[in-house]
């Protein structure tokens, strides 16, 4: 669909593919194309799950430093809205999203992976937030999504030092969910995504929204978000089909309605 970001759909699974040689640097154009891809996929009822993939060699090595270095404070103040908005659009896709991480996922690339619900990494993958080594801080969600995922102390370790972590450490601290041989990364993500195909799409969207929105607030408000989403399921055909199948001891057929 775009010059650097494409969307391929097969068997109800969409793959958002980054392809900007050499390292999939997330320049302004890539950011716009990511947001467009997210909107397209989110609105497509035929898509049940999503994979973020940068190819066999690299996921995304970060933002385009050459492009950013020429910006003034005023320019970056405006551009950072676009940067965060593009990644937030990925995070808000109302379907399960799996990042298939090969090679480097650094800076903006790591922040893009953080927008997924799950992360599968190759054994030689390297992840990190090295912005401090440039006199910067993460600006596409790293200071917010990373501590929510792995805890504040571990996030500060990575952000303050700017160091890279290998796949084994990333798995140990919860930064990735599975580690597989490099050549199996996309296949493993595809197999995981396939488990959501044919599932109750409305319930999956509601569960994702309840979890993500609940993490942003206090427990009482989060429980109210859950209650409203839970109650709303009783207006769906899928819930009726699921409960009917349970009582009849049969397998439900979900239609995403």
pLDDT, position 51: 98
Last residue of a domain, one of 177, 194, 211: 194
> How would residue 185 be classed by pLDDT, with cut points 50, 70 and 90?
very high
> How would residue 97 be classed by pLDDT, with cut points 50, 70 and 90?
very high
**221 with 156, same domain?**
no
Q: Is the pLDDT of residue 228 over 80?
A: yes
Nearest to 155 by CA among 137, 167, 179: 137
The CA distance from 90 to 195, in Å, is 20
* 255 domain residue, yes or no: no
pTM: 0.94
Last residue of a domain, one of 160, 175, 194: 194
The region of weakest confidence among 10-19, 24-33, 67-76, 126-135 is 67-76
**130 with 205, same domain?**
no
> How would residue 67 be classed by pLDDT, with cut points 50, 70 and 90?
confident
Which residue is catalytic, options 36, 75, 123, 131?
Answer: 131
The CA distance from 182 to 95, in Å, is 25
* 125 domain residue, yes or no: yes
* 209 domain residue, yes or no: yes
Range of the domain at 237: 201-248
Nearest to 26 by CA among 110, 99, 108, 129: 108
**237 with 159, same domain?**
no
**52 with 26, same domain?**
yes
Domain count, the chain: 2
pLDDT, position 66: 85
Mean pLDDT of the chain: 95
* 253 domain residue, yes or no: no
The CA distance from 29 to 35, in Å, is 10
**212 with 127, same domain?**
no
SS3 204: helix
**Residue 2 in tokens:** 């775009």
Check which CATH number belongs to the domain holding 119 and give it.
3.90.226.10
DSSP characters for 129-172? Answer: -GGGGGT----SSHHHHHHHHH-HHHHHHHHHH--EEEHHHHHH
Enclosing H/E stretch for 178: strand 178-180
Mean pLDDT of 136-164: 97
* Residues contacting residue 15 through CB under 8 Å, at least 6 positions apart: 7, 8, 9, 50, 51, 53
Q: Is the pLDDT of residue 72 over 80?
A: yes
**151 with 174, same domain?**
yes
191 is catalytic: no
Task: Tell me how long the chain is.
Answer: 257
DSSP characters for 69-104? Answer: HT--HHHHHHHHHHHHHHHHHHHT-SS-EEEEE-SE
Higher-confidence residue of 159 and 257: namely: 159
* 168 domain residue, yes or no: yes
Which residue is catalytic, options 75, 111, 191, 237?
Answer: 111
**183 with 218, same domain?**
no
**171 with 241, same domain?**
no
**172 with 244, same domain?**
no
Q: Are 144 and 187 in contact (CB under 8 A)?
A: no
SS3 121: strand
> How would residue 139 be classed by pLDDT, with cut points 50, 70 and 90?
very high
**170 with 206, same domain?**
no
> How would residue 65 be classed by pLDDT, with cut points 50, 70 and 90?
confident
**62 with 123, same domain?**
yes
**147 with 227, same domain?**
no
First to last CA, the chain: 28
Q: Is the pLDDT of residue 1 over 80?
A: no
The CA distance from 134 to 163, in Å, is 12
pLDDT, position 69: 87
Q: Is the pLDDT of residue 218 over 90?
A: yes
Q: Is the pLDDT of residue 10 over 90?
A: yes
111 is catalytic: yes
* 104 domain residue, yes or no: yes
């Amino acid at each position: 669909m775009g010059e650097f970001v494409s969307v391929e759909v097969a068997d109800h699974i969409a793959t958002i593919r980054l392809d900007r040689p050499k390292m999939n640097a997330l320049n302004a154009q890539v950011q716009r194309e990511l947001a467009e891809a997210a909107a397209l996929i989110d609105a497509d009822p035929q898509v049940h799950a999503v994979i973020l993939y940068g190819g066999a060699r690299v996921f995304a090595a970060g933002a385009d430093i050459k492009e950013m270095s020429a910006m003034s404070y005023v320019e970056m103040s405006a551009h950072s809205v676009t940067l965060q908005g593009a990644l937030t659009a990925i995070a808000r896709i109302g379907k399960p999203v799996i990042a298939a991480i090969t090679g480097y996922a650094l800076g903006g690339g790591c922040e893009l992976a953080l927008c997924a619900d799950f992360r599968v990494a190759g054994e030689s993958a390297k992840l990190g937030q090295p912005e401090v080594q440039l006199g910067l801080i993460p600006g596409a969600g790293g200071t917010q999504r990373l501590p929510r995922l792995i805890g504040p102390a571990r996030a500060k370790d990575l952000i303050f030092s700017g160091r890279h972590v290998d796949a084994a450490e990333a798995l140990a601290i919860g930064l990735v969910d599975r580690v597989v041989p490099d050549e199996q990364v996309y296949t493993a993500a595809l197999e995981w995504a396939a488990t959501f195909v044919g599932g109750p799409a409305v319930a999956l969207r509601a569960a994702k929204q309840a979890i993500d929105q609940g993490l942003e607030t206090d427990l009482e408000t989060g429980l109210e978000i859950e209650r409203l989403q839970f109650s709303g399921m009783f207006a769906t055909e899928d819930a009726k089909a699921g409960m009917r199948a349970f009582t009849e001891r049969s397998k439900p057929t979900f239609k995403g309605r």
